Amino acid sequence: MTKFSRKEFLGLGAALAGATGLSSAGLDTIVAAQPAAGAGAVAADLIVINARVLTSDPAMPRAEAFAVKAGRFIAVGSSADIRNLANAQTRQIDAGGATITPGFIDCHCHVSGVGELFSVNANVPRVRELQANLKARTDKTPPGQWVEAIMFDDTKLDVALTRKELDEVSRDHPIAVNHRGGHTSWYNTKAFELAGITKNTPDPDHGRFFKDESGELTGRVAELARGVFNKVGTRERFTPEQQRDRGRQGKAHISKLLTAAGLTTVHDAGAGRDSILAYQDARESGELRHRAAYLVRGADTFNGFKAAGLYYGYGDEWLRCTGVKFAADGSASERTMRMSTPYVGTKDYGILTMTQKEIDDAVEDAWRHNFRIAIHANGDTTIDMVLKAYERVQKQWPRKDPRNRIEHCSLVNPELLARIKALGAIPTPFWTYAHYHGEKWKFYGQEKMNWMFAHKSFIDTGIRVPGASDYGPGPFEPLMAIQSMVTRKDYGGNVWGPAQRITIDQALMVATINGAYASHEEHVKGSITAGKYADFTMLEKDPHDVNPDVIKNIRVLRTVVGGRTVHEA
């Protein structure tokens, strides 16, 4: 274990009291410029001792203790050395041998919380339960008013859901059951009637009304074909004040869940005006526990940013704009992503939601307004289109280290990997999917799966791949993600794409420092390093020590953000 001398601790601590926004280069400069202060000048606010600290810092990968002052780590080393930084006022945590990692970072998550608090829960295994949950709501809802359920997963239900099961709940209320993936929904007959959709209605561009063999509507509707339902029926109404309050409550709720899972920074992969307002409200009320970064989504909000001259990086350490988001194809879990080869046993190549021209125009506009860009592209065909757009603007208007992102970037090949590396682009592949969504991967097959969620290929190519749950479509628990990336094993014991398995140490880097890199924040977070924000997670067990198949069961004992405990088991 590397040990800092006492003198080095003290020098670092004096330099950092009250410091903000230091880069690692800045840190060296300041430490060199200010020799060690006298003993006693640098009492830590908090020291943590007797831990197994997995730092994610290659300069000192393991330690047993660290000290925190003014929300930042000021020293990392042995318990004996760190104790020297405490005085009577210093809080001490004896970790009792528990494992501590940097706070986990999720770079792609849909962090509303409003649905979780207020919508009908469709995340159930049996259709009877789904019907009961919906019925409880329709009983309290006036006829003609929508009842919506969220977090549905067709492959985890005991029957293939159709219109019929939803009609059994109600023929008087339009009902929507929204897949947790966000790209498909199931509607009852009342909803189709209100929308004027019959079995003879042609599919719109970028969408589909699914039909059975006899040509009848099944109830399942994909992608942009769902837009028509938004314009019909009545919906529960809220005053602007109620709406705003629901937004804040949602963020407070989800922030609690995320930090309980060990996350300290979470990127919101699509925030419009209401969501950004809700973040700020939750922060003002003291209910925002994690550091939130958001990708701006929606023309109105984006135009507002552009009009105000705000761009990528606007904000501070708690709430910041990390780019603008677009979506160019379908979903992995819902089998609508656009690929160069079809889904197993079909002629279905998936769905594009933007043309090359639309991608090029969106990228050019965002680029010229100083935005970092993030485009949802799952299939290899779509990833190629997005890379073309990134390559085009980089060539015409070169920018240093832009780190444009490819959201999900699910199915790759050596040619795409080389182009991603050459551009310095950031892929954000699903990190819980190999495990959690195992029953879907037969639609892709092993050959494709060896190139999907390709954490190992990215790492081997020298691409700093971060963690990304895409919650709600995927679970956000980072320990499940580590298990999934290490084992690629689903609930049933099937291993999907074994070529992409990575080591626990690699998975920990994905979950921490690579996440910081994905927002140009690797100098202030992502590792337990003196000078960085004191964001860390205490685990009951070291993931190295348990059977990889049960990493997800490790308890998160404590989550600390900026030196403040935000979760304690």
CB of 467 to Zn ion, least distance (A): 13
CB of 495 to Zn ion, least distance (A): 25
| Contacts to Zn ion by CB under 5 A | 269, 470
CB of 428 to Zn ion, least distance (A): 9
CB of 332 to Zn ion, least distance (A): 10
Whether 183 and 334 have beta carbons less than 8 Å apart is answered as: yes
d(CA 130, CA 540): 35
For residue 418, give the nearest of 391, 448, 438 by alpha carbon.
Answer: 391
Closest to Zn ion by CB, 269 vs 479, is 269
The helix (H) or strand (E) run that includes residue 142 is: none
Closest to Zn ion by CB, 133 vs 469, is 469
For residue 179, give the nearest of 137, 148, 138, 135 by alpha carbon.
Answer: 148
Closest to Zn ion by CB, 470 vs 522, is 470
| Residue pointed to by tokens 């965002």 | 366
Closest to Zn ion by CB, 102 vs 473, is 473
Residue 564, strand partner residues: 561
Rg (CA), the chain: 24
CB of 115 to Zn ion, least distance (A): 14
Burial label for 237, CB within 10 Å (0-12, 13-18, 19+), is exposed
Both structure tokens of 283? 């922060």
CB of 325 to Zn ion, least distance (A): 8
d(CA 187, CA 177): 6
Closest to Zn ion by CB, 209 vs 476, is 476
Torsion over CA: 121, 122, 125, 131 (sign): positive
E strands within 259-391? 263-271, 291-296, 319-327, 373-377
Of how many residues is the chain composed? 569
Closest to Zn ion by CB, 82 vs 465, is 465
β-bridge pairing 147-152 and 72-77: unpaired
Q: Residue 307 CB: number of other CB atoms within 10 A?
A: 9
CB of 299 to Zn ion, least distance (A): 18
d(CA 493, CA 495): 6
Closest to Zn ion by CB, 56 vs 331, is 331
CB of 105 to Zn ion, least distance (A): 16
Closest to Zn ion by CB, 334 vs 470, is 470
